[in-house]
Amino acid sequence: MNLLDLSTFLGAELRGEPEVEVTAVASLEEADERTLTFVESRRKLDEALTSRAGAFIVPDGLELPGRNVLVSADPRFDFSRAIRLLIPAEKISEGTSGQAVISADATVAPDVRIGPFVTVEQGALVGKGSQLYPGVYVGRGSRIGEDCVLYPNVVVMSGCTLGNRVVVHAGAVIGSDGFGYVTKGDVHHKIPQVGQVIVEDDVEIGANATIDRAALGTTLIGRGTKLDNLVQVAHNVQIGEGCLMAAHVGIAGSSRIGRYVMFGGQVGVADHISVGDGVMVGGQSGLARDVAPKSIVSGSPAFPHREWVKASMVFQKLPEMERRLRRLEKALGQGEDEGKP
Amino acid sequence: MNLLDLSTFLGAELRGEPEVEVTAVASLEEADERTLTFVESRRKLDEALTSRAGAFIVPDGLELPGRNVLVSADPRFDFSRAIRLLIPAEKISEGTSGQAVISADATVAPDVRIGPFVTVEQGALVGKGSQLYPGVYVGRGSRIGEDCVLYPNVVVMSGCTLGNRVVVHAGAVIGSDGFGYVTKGDVHHKIPQVGQVIVEDDVEIGANATIDRAALGTTLIGRGTKLDNLVQVAHNVQIGEGCLMAAHVGIAGSSRIGRYVMFGGQVGVADHISVGDGVMVGGQSGLARDVAPKSIVSGSPAFPHREWVKASMVFQKLPEMERRLRRLEKALGQGEDEGKP
Amino acid sequence: MNLLDLSTFLGAELRGEPEVEVTAVASLEEADERTLTFVESRRKLDEALTSRAGAFIVPDGLELPGRNVLVSADPRFDFSRAIRLLIPAEKISEGTSGQAVISADATVAPDVRIGPFVTVEQGALVGKGSQLYPGVYVGRGSRIGEDCVLYPNVVVMSGCTLGNRVVVHAGAVIGSDGFGYVTKGDVHHKIPQVGQVIVEDDVEIGANATIDRAALGTTLIGRGTKLDNLVQVAHNVQIGEGCLMAAHVGIAGSSRIGRYVMFGGQVGVADHISVGDGVMVGGQSGLARDVAPKSIVSGSPAFPHREWVKASMVFQKLPEMERRLRRLEKALGQGEDEGKP
């Protein structure tokens, strides 16, 4: 695509030669003359000046004399749009593989692409434009919306609902049983998990992530929320819209996560707690109590992030602090033991 | 089912109209007049009084005037039994799919249900009443007991043994190689992992969990133990009966876990340690040493839970404590540095 | 195999009867007279003396009077070699299953073994001696080297490269999309992930582990590195040669891990940091900043391991320390509140 067309598509001002062609995208250091790249800030200026890229998306005010630039109010966003234009999303082959097993009682839109070794059980529904990669399982009565992508070996158990444009990466499991037992004497009796999972529009679910069905009612993943790989969502959890949860996050049963909440990797959330809108949680933190909206917290158990940073620094000096304390006690003629109540 | 029959099945006293029919189950807030629900304690009384449920399982002494109640010594347990009565467990289609590949040399009981894209290798054995969902793999010589359920894409590598009534959720892997190497110079040479996995009766294994085969000998999951999603059990680990392990728990090689041990989510256990019977471990804790039976511990490294709670609260005040310490030093004319040994 | 042949193969001196046959391997306590076992140190001497093993690999200087021993400079390593000799590695059936779907446009070496329900997409390449277990998916244009083993249900998305002798355990996913979004207003727009994954020779990847493709460029797993089960490697991460990473480790985007780095279980690494060669990190630690080569660190955030051990011990005494501090304040006539700034 030539830069004129690209600038028109992006709505970005072109400063450079309109007829130059770019066919690929790359980072500054890996770019060559057929490549589009981007510069987000002045900090990358030196790198940009030595880059061999054929064209750059740059913020207003950043000069790259003699180079082809497209001036953008949001270079990262426009670069992201340009990627999809230059490199169309992969699709599996059209039609339904002869090696797939689709129940005669399932409803599959005519343009759905279904790879080999896919199973779609009775009563299931797959909306138009969706793709089921090889090895996908869609259980009884489950509904997959329009323009969804289920990558290889994804499992959607029975009675679950995915909205439109939901992307589920390879090996993820939706609708497995929640972890619920009644213990009588020394036996853990299973509580049948007869609820469902609802995954709203525009959700993305990472590879090998697991989302349990509700015991009763619904486990909910709100619109536009993105879950990274290996995330665990327990039964009856409710996650609001627009959340971002990094890898290995685990959320225990019945907890409610607000809208636009962000969790770093390996965060753990206890059961039956409530996390307010806009909360941000540092990696490896543990939430054991309700968290007020807009809080920024860290630690296990978590408390305000700024205080945690300070406390963590003092933690490293604890042996020294103990020595200082002992010295003071000596100076005052106090034994260590006397300090005990 | 009418309430008379239900009360007979549960052995629960009916106070209300025997001919009322319930066909589903729900929580108090989602229940309607065709629905059975349950109340566990007085705290839910207000919610119960406004619920539209057709019938309630209640503890003795809890009054819901004018409503149909079934009086139970253990409402949660009896509700759990009622669920399975009203909503029979899902089963895949009878018989063996023509799209499955079953070795002529495997032994599969006649009533086993096998979905498409299942592989059962030579010498494997599958007991009566078991179900293998689509995409399941059963390796050479592995034995699956009676009434087991292996959900989609479960992998049981060769030479593993599952008892009766074992449930393995989608994507879980049993019998992968343990993580064992001998490092010579700068090469990590793999130690062939030629042991097995034994999973005893009534065990349940969560989605995408992983259980490694032993290097030599056996990795053991004891009877009635329940592992949540994404749990990792390393080679030669021995887990006793009746344990409950929440999601993302990781247990390193050769550690021994007693009976009726409970681990919160994301607990980590070092290798070659021993955890006594009845131990309870708080979420995100790390066990680096042996833990005595019946201990309740938290923290990383873990120590008694009650003390950990107190220490964690003081942790949050560390910056303030340091200021107090400095103030005392000033009052005594001591410099901070002098406290060093 | 008789002990004479075994000693010749191992290059180990035989002290005992050359014609004794061993056919299996076991630990000291499980060994019988047909079994080879090993003793690594004097600490196991008592156990060895009562073992029923037919033969022992022992270090020089360890005497087992009246028993058949093979004297080795490295008993664990030679035992490991003996295992593979006595128990050849499992292989799936020869040839390509009629139930596999191999693109006419893929290049598969003639001796590759391919199980049922395998998909190899167009342009993919599988080198000689490799095995694809049932349910494996190899995406478009991906290259699998020679003598690789991909266990059941492994997914390699498009455009990824695996070197020679790479082993990928069941359910692992290579080349899933990285977790990258541009947030505009309240929408998280996906950044297309168009980079690749390169897995170098002799790498081993654990069951249900996930390795994301780069946004642009390459996610790299260096030669001879071993990743345990459920490890997460984010987009654009670079891991050097010979690293060992235990289960549940998570490495966030663009971080660079040096050579011969060792991570305990559940370690988390923040994005865009650099970890030097030879670093060792204790289990559950969190790396938020660059780590200098050869460092041994623990804690979250991590600092030198020895100091962390001491600080962790003092942490357990924090409530007592606070009482001692208060006592000093009383002795000096200071109120707790006065310590505040």
Between positions 198 and 217 of B, the ones with CB within 8 A of C are 208, 210, 212, 216-217
Among candidate residues C127, C124, C114, C107, the one with its CA nearest the CA of residue C158: C124
Residues A146 and A106 in one domain: yes
The answer to whether the Cβ–Cβ distance between C80 and B191 falls below 8 Å is yes
Shared domain check, C8 and C128? no
| Chains linked to B by 3 or more Cβ pairs within 8 Å | A, C
In a domain, B73, yes or no: yes
Catalytic residue positions of B, numbered:
235
A313 within some domain: no
Instruction: Assess if residue C320 is contained within a domain.
Output: no
- Reported as a single tens digit per residue, the pLDDT across C129-160 is 999 999 999 999 999 999 999 999 999 999 99
Residues 35 to 54 of C: which have CB under 8 A from any A CB? none
Residues of B in contact with C171 (CB under 8 A): 153, 155, 171, 173, 208, 210
CA distances A286 to A229, B62, B267, Å, are: 19, 37, 12
CATH number at residue B35: 3.40.1390.10
Mean pLDDT for chain B? 96
- The model's pLDDT over B19-70, given as tens digits with 9 standing for 90+, comes to 999 999 999 999 999 999 999 989 999 999 999 999 999 999 998 999 999 9
Q: How far apart are CA B221 and CA A167, in angstroms?
A: 35
> Is A324 inside a domain boundary?
no
pLDDT, residue B335, reads 67
Question: What's the pLDDT at C341?
Answer: 44
Same domain, B217 and B73: no
Confidence of residue B341 (pLDDT cuts 50, 70, 90): very low
Chain C within 8 Å of B135 (Cβ-Cβ)? yes
CB C51 within 8 A of CB C58: no
Domain housing A220: 101-305
CA distance B15 to B4: 10
Q: What is the largest CA-CA distance in chain B?
A: 88
Neighboring chain A residues of C266 at a CB cutoff of 8 Å: 266
Q: What is the CATH number of the domain that holds B300?
A: 2.160.10.10
Residue that wins the pLDDT comparison between C336 and A140: A140
**A338 in any annotated domain:** no
Handedness of CA B16, B20, B21, B27 (dihedral sign): negative
Task: Look at chain C and count its residues.
Answer: 341
Q: Which residue of B has its CA nearest to A158?
A: B90
B-chain residues within 8 Å CB-CB of A310?
318-319
Considering only CB atoms, C334 lies closest to which of B268, B320, B331, namely B331
The verdict on whether omega for the bond into residue A301 sits within 30 degrees of 0, i.e. cis, is yes
Rg of chain A in Å (alpha carbons): 26
Task: Specify the pLDDT at position C138.
Answer: 98
Instruction: Give dist(CA A92, CA B54) in Å, integer.
Output: 49
- Arithmetic mean of pLDDT, C33-38: 96
Hey, are the CB atoms on A315 and C320 less than 8 Å from each other?
A: no
Cβ–Cβ under 8 Å, residues C15 and C69: yes
Q: What ipTM was estimated for this complex?
A: 0.96
At C335, the pLDDT band (50, 70, 90 cuts) reads low
The predicted model gives B58-85 an average pLDDT of 95
The structure tokens listed for B27 are: 């929580």
- A305 flagged as catalytic: no
B69 and B168 housed in the same domain? no
At residue C339, the pLDDT reads 44
Is the peptide bond prior to B301 cis by the omega test (within 30 degrees of 0)? yes
A135 and A177 inside one domain: yes
Do A277 and A225 lie in one domain? The reply is yes
Q: For residue A325, what are the contacts with CB-CB under 8 A and spacing of at least 6?
A: B325, C321, C324, C325, C328
**pLDDT tens digit string along C189-200?**
999 999 999 999
List the single residue in A74, A76, A170 with the smallest CB-CB distance to C173: A170
Residue pointed to by tokens 């006594």: B276
Using the predicted structure, report yes or no on whether residue B339 has a pLDDT greater than 60: no
Q: Is B230 on the interface with C (CB under 8 A)?
A: yes
B143/B211 same-domain check: yes
Which chain B residue's Cα is nearest to C225? B188
Is the Cβ of C101 closer than 8 Å to some Cβ of chain A? yes
pLDDT at C48 over 90: yes
Whether residue A314 is contained in a domain is answered as: no
What does the pLDDT read at residue A286?
Answer: 98
Cβ distance C30 to B190 less than 8 Å, yes or no, reads no
* Whether pTM exceeds 0.80: yes
Q: Report, in angstroms and rounded to the nearest whole number, the Rg of chain B calculated over CA atoms.
A: 27
Range B263-274 average pLDDT: 98
Would you say residue C142 lies in a domain?
A: yes
Q: Which chains sit next to C, with 3 or more Cβ pairs under 8 A?
A: A, B
Contact C324 A319 (CB under 8 A): no
| Domain shared by B183 and B237, yes or no | yes
Q: What is the mean pLDDT of residues C75-96?
A: 95
Residues with Cβ within 8 Å of B43's Cβ and at least 6 positions away in sequence, in order, are none
Nearest neighbour of B224 by CB, restricted to A188, A192, A286 = A188
User: Which chain A residues touch B115 with a CB distance below 8 Å?
Assistant: 119
pLDDT of residue A102: 98
- Do C197 and C279 fall within a single domain? yes
Residues B294-326 pLDDT 10s = 999 999 999 999 999 999 999 999 999 999 999
Q: Which of B58-72, B116-130, C41-55, C320-334 has the highest mean pLDDT?
A: B116-130
Amino acid at residue number B81: R
Whether residue C324 lies inside any domain: the answer is no
User: 10 Å Cβ neighbour count for B84?
Assistant: 15
Cβ–Cβ gap B265/A250 under 8 Å: yes
Is residue B134 located within the same domain as residue B196?
A: yes
Domain count, chain A: 2
Joined together, the tokens standing for residue C21 give 């046959």
Interface of A with B in 247-266 (CB under 8 A): 248, 250, 252, 266
Average pLDDT, chain C: 96
Q: Which residue from C153, C114, C112, C154 is spatially nearest to C132, judged by alpha carbons?
A: C114
pLDDT tens digits in sequence order for chain A, 341 residues long: 999 999 999 999 999 999 999 999 999 999 999 999 999 989 999 999 999 999 999 999 998 999 999 999 999 999 999 999 999 999 999 999 999 999 999 999 999 999 999 999 999 999 999 999 999 999 999 999 999 999 999 999 999 999 999 999 999 999 999 999 999 999 999 999 999 999 999 999 999 999 999 999 999 999 999 999 999 999 999 999 999 999 999 999 999 999 999 999 999 999 999 999 999 999 999 999 999 999 999 999 999 999 999 999 999 999 999 999 999 999 988 765 544 44
